[in-house]
Chain A
Amino acid sequence: MASAATPKYNSRSLENDSIRRSSRDGFTRDLCEEIPRLPGETRITDKEVIYICPFNGPIKGRVYITNYRLYLRSFETDSGALLDIPLGVIARVEKMGGASSRGENSYGLDITCKDMRNLRFALKQEGHSRRDIFEVLTKYAFPRSHGLPLFAFLNEEKFPENGWMVYNPIEEYRRQGLPNDQWRVSFVNKRFEMCETYPSILVVPYHSTDDDLRKVATFRSRNRIPATGGGYESDDVYHNAEIFFLDIHNIHVMRESLRKLKDIVYPNVEESHWLSSLESTHWLEHVKFVLTGAIQVADKVASGRSSVLVHCSDGWDRTAQLTSLAMLMLDSYYRTITGFEVLIQKEWISFGHKFASRIGHGEKNYADTDRSPIFLQFMDCVWQMSKQFPTAFEFNEQFLITILDNLYSCRFGTFLFNSEYAREKEKVMMKTLSLWSMINSDKGKYTNPFYTKELNRALYPVASMRHLELWVNYYIRWNTRMRQQQPDPVEQRYMELLALRDEYVKRLEEMKMTNSAKLTSPSASSSAPSQMMPHVQTHF
């Protein structure tokens, strides 16, 4: 009886199995070209190159460029793709060496990526061989600088779920018990005429009229009125308000910190004095400040029964980080997959975090001072929380990494543009797919098996440097030495055990049924139970 379950339980070591996570879901493979393509993806060019792999040395292969990705296949091994990177990940393409450069592999292209890696391709020096590929790459990696549409507008994928339906402002406010006798819904910004960086539906204090709001708007930086969701308030004017400052640095400091982090982890990890080098990047320290700030906000809201107004200079960077993290701490709904999607949709996308400026989707201007890893830093904080409370989040690490990968990929419309106003103008919801469509159509992949649903429990992470860790599986994932480590065999094992338990429970139920059936028939009642007992026991 147990034979069906036993092999699952014992047959193989998960830890040494190579777990190949396929990234090709939903891709069609064209047999002639033999490169995976999404519906709507078209091949532009291909070229023989030498990929200068920082871990395994030069590898000869062929690089394929489509309007969505860069794909590299090695001539030497037939193990599929060596590289398969959405062009949206590329921050910068540069020419390396000149026609007269000497030395092996000294002529080619250097590619800087937004996701903590760089790529180097060497090409043959004869006949300006890199000119075409440089031009194609520049054009399709930075379509917005070349008058071309982002790939999200060409993507023809189909998903069973529609991620655009995930967030409905009215519904979400209703879930929070709004409107009520203190707060009301306002359509004052319906056509974005009051504030372009705010959503069309807002919740505001009950007694403030739309006229009041318009007046307030002219006083706030970029007309961003306080809603549930620059300069600082003078105490005399704002009665009953307590002001506290959170010591968080500006977006330029964050960008610089991440650059330093990349320097010590890519391509090679700074081995001697690793921890001191990590410290000198200050990345974890910044994460700590953001978490500390969010804890203070959450604590004020939870303990003081007071409301908190959070803002920074423009109200779309720090503010989004702090409010969304505080909400994650206070409301268990946001720790579910859907809840987290709503949280991002509401506090980040809807309330006008300038994704286009911070990420630079399809823009060639990599040195733009508007770029900053604000959202990445938020996701790092979420990851830190999920490390400290491994059973509190419905989603797993793969979910967070997938979101970050698609923050850059331009495959979905979710993170495109700076405000709801701009998205409406570009008809993003009509013309592109939502990242949540893909994720919600394959939820099992992003589910944390350890999740135990607990309602109304506030989670306060410990924002001490002693308890913060570097998110190695994200920042150092390109290092092949790290990849030998298995992603998370515990998850798989746990799911197997859960399945096993379900099976046993089911079987026990069946036995109970048989048992009671036999008991009701008088002929079997005396012998059946005693025979069944050892039968059950042998399997454990």
Chain B
Amino acid sequence: MEFSELIRTGRAEALLLPGPGQSTVRGTLCITSHHLLLSAGHGSPSDLWLLLHNVDAVEKRVAGNSGTITLKCKDLQVLQLEIEGLGETLDIASSIEALSSLESVTTSYPFFFRPQSLRLGDAEDLYPPDHFYQQVALETDAWRLSTVNRDFQVCASYPPALVVPRGIGDEVLARSAHFRQGGRFPVLSYYHSTNGTVMLRSSQPLQGANRRRCAEDEELLRAALALGGQRGLVLDTRSAQAVKQARITGGGTEAKAAYPGWKRLHRPLERGRPLQDSFVRLVEACTDPSLSMDRWLSRLDGCRWLTHVKEALTTACLVAQGMDREGVCFLVHGAEGTDATLLVTSLAQLILDPKCRTMHGFQSLLEREWIQAGHPFQQRCAHSAYAQGRPKHEAPTFLLFLDCVWQLSRQFPLSLEFGEGMLLALFEHAYASPFGTFLCNSEKERYLCEVKTKTHSLWSSLNQSKERQRFCNPIYSPNPLALWPSVEPQSLQLWAGKVSFPVPLPALSIGSALTGFLPTPNSRPFPPMDSST
């Protein structure tokens, strides 16, 4: 495919109207295969470089011999461009529409992005497949690394290497996978080294209306419980009613009689369409300039976004508390086990495990519990809050996770090594990025598209010392304890960094005061003494 076929006009004179926190730029607008560039000439610092994949919705308006194009981006910024020429306006709008909606992964920008400071494949060793296992193996030899899924035959959405109870053979895993939706058999998600309890995750068992059982699946969970303690709890992220419904279509949950020692708990978390709707309503409310301000709080309430934040954090706290305080092992799943499940398991680890709160540890957590665990980023982040038309598989589950992490960072401002900037960057990159990290829906797809050898990793970029310093929390102080957040409604706040209000706050923050001069682990506050004096 030639990109040039989609570019109807590559060039026009345009004016970027200032929005919240933006300045006016007047200059030449260029459309390339992956970018929109608006340059005042001479590489001016105010030049606008916009990744076209970031465009969520294009609105055009023409009047006389000029037009206005409004670009609503996936990272929630809104750009207004005034363009000279009627034809140019229409051509540019349709070029942007065509280029921004391309779905092919291998022609996407990450496959062309070649920054000078990075080498391809240099993140290969950062989070190797057995990284997690090596950490667990330092604490216990009760678990092993299985490569039963090395060619993605057993489970298409799992990575090739998984951690399972040592006594369980690969053939048992394969049988269990048959009994689980999408083949996602129970695997180790987190080993709590202070008391040896474990957290597993999976998809729902294919119990069906006639309550099928699977001896191997039961054996697997029995073995896991024997390693982790006496009491187990299956945390189902759906309501009991939803499970009943699922049974009709072949799904279900663990029958009590079949899994001795395991009890069941339902903590319904919103997912899919309702979550996407909540996100859309939130962004509407935040950007609605006509909203009567005495109705703002009830409108915010009505979006229910903060309710979802509260529910997610509450559920994660419940799991973390059960493991840490009551010595209970958990199996977390909903239906597919790729959304709410990962939200709960990753948050619980952040609460319990100080290692996850470092820059490196957090990246490792994201890599393991979201990317390799098969959260379908491509589907979920295909569109953000502005896109017209019916959403298909879109859902801001990952954004909800980032929001929960932000709430933790607000309540424990010293305990996370990374700052708000890092969370915002992750949000942007998940929706549109020059890096390959969040491409595709699973490791299998990434393997087929050769993402790891043909694109750069976001992590190698973030770990460059300059970037690292930008995303670090300058007042980080390692905290060996669990973080128990308050989930009271008045303790949770709208993460304003995520949405741009019509009237932004003036920029005068503690962050800017802090990053000014404080020593960060990576930088020396003073230049080395000049030996020539």
Contact = CB atoms under 8 A, between A and B. Distances in A.
Interface of A: 9-10, 13-16, 265, 269, 271, 273-276, 278-279, 282, 284-285, 288, 388-392, 450, 452, 459-462, 464-467, 469-470, 472, 476, 481-482, 484-485, 489-490, 493-494, 497, 500-501, 504, 508, 511-512, 515, 519, 529-530, 532-533, 536-537, 540
A490 B529 contact: no
A472 B491 contact: yes
Contacts of A275: 297-298, 300-301, 306, 489
A483 to B, nearest CB: 10
Interface string B496-513: 100001011110111001
B63 interface: no
12 contacts: A15-B414, A15-B415, A274-B301, A275-B297, A390-B509, A390-B513, A465-B294, A490-B475, A501-B517, A501-B518, A529-B529, A540-B519
A450 B517 CA distance: 13
B489 A269 contact: yes
A206 to B, nearest CB: 37
Contact of A537 (B481, B483, B524): B524
Contacts of A511: 529
B508 A392 contact: yes
Given A13-B477, A275-B297, A485-B486, 19 more contacts: A15-B414, A15-B483, A271-B488, A274-B489, A274-B490, A278-B297, A388-B508, A391-B508, A461-B506, A462-B506, A465-B294, A467-B501, A467-B505, A484-B486, A485-B491, A501-B519, A511-B529, A533-B528, A537-B528
Contact of A536 (B484, B503, B510, B529): B529
Nearest to A388: B505
A14 B293 contact: no
A14 B414 contact: yes
B20 to A, nearest CB: 11
Contact of B490 (A388, A450, A466, A472): A472
Given A493-B475, A533-B531, A466 B488 contact: no
Nearest to A528: B531
Contacts of A489: 412-414
B528 A13 contact: no
Contacts of B517: 501
A13 B486 contact: no
A468 B412 CA distance: 22
Contacts of B524: 537, 540
B479 A13 contact: yes
A497 B475 contact: yes
A13 B415 contact: yes
Nearest to A498: B518
A13 B354 CA distance: 11
Contact of A16 (B479, B503, B510, B525): B479
Contacts of B526: 504, 508, 536
Given A390-B510, A533-B529, A497 B491 contact: no
B200 to A, nearest CB: 28
B248 interface: no
Contacts of B412: 15, 489
A11 to B, nearest CB: 9
B294 A15 contact: no
A470 B414 contact: no
A309 to B, nearest CB: 28
Contacts of A392: 508
A494 B514 contact: yes
A46 B517 CA distance: 55
B358 to A, nearest CB: 14
A540 B505 contact: no
Nearest to A390: B510
B156 interface: no
A33 B503 CA distance: 57
A481 B493 contact: no
A269 B296 CA distance: 20
Given A10-B477, A465-B296, A476 B490 contact: yes
B489 A466 contact: no
B411 to A, nearest CB: 6
B486 A482 contact: yes
A482 B414 CA distance: 19
Given A391-B513, A460-B506, A465 B297 contact: yes
| 5 nearest A-B residue pairs (beta carbon) | A274-B489, A13-B479, A279-B297, A275-B301, A465-B296
Contact of B488 (A273, A482, A501, A532): A482
Nearest to A16: B481
Contacts of A512: 529
Interface string B438-481: 00000000000000000000000000000000000001011111
B62 interface: no
Given A13-B414, A389-B508, A279 B477 contact: no
B475 A494 contact: yes
B302 to A, nearest CB: 8
B488 to A, nearest CB: 6
Contacts of A269: 488-490
Contacts of A388: 505-506, 508
B501 A466 contact: yes
A274 B295 CA distance: 14
A141 to B, nearest CB: 30
Nearest to B518: A497
A490 B490 contact: no
Nearest to B501: A466
B66 to A, nearest CB: 32
B525 A504 contact: yes
| Most chain A beta carbons < 10 A, residue from B301, B412, B477, B519 | B477
A278 B478 CA distance: 36
Contacts of B306: 275
Contacts of A519: 533
A383 B146 CA distance: 57
A391 B514 CA distance: 10
Contacts of B490: 265, 269, 274, 470, 472, 476, 482
A278 B296 CA distance: 11
A499 to B, nearest CB: 12
Contact of B295 (A9, A279, A284, A288): A279
A169 B427 CA distance: 55
Nearest to B306: A275
B286 interface: yes
Nearest to B512: A391
Contacts of B509: 390-391
B510 A493 contact: no
A39 to B, nearest CB: 39
Contacts of B525: 501, 504, 540
Nearest to B301: A275
Nearest to A504: B525
Interface in B125-154: none
Nearest to B508: A389
Contacts of A476: 490
| Most chain B beta carbons < 10 A, residue from A10, A390, A500 | A390
Contacts of A278: 297
A464 B413 contact: no
A284 B488 CA distance: 19
A462 B297 contact: no
| Most chain A beta carbons < 10 A, residue from B297, B493, B526 | B297
B79 to A, nearest CB: 21
Given A278-B297, A465-B296, A533-B529, A14 B477 contact: yes
Nearest to B294: A285
B414 A493 contact: yes
A10 B493 CA distance: 29
Contacts of B488: 269, 271, 481-482
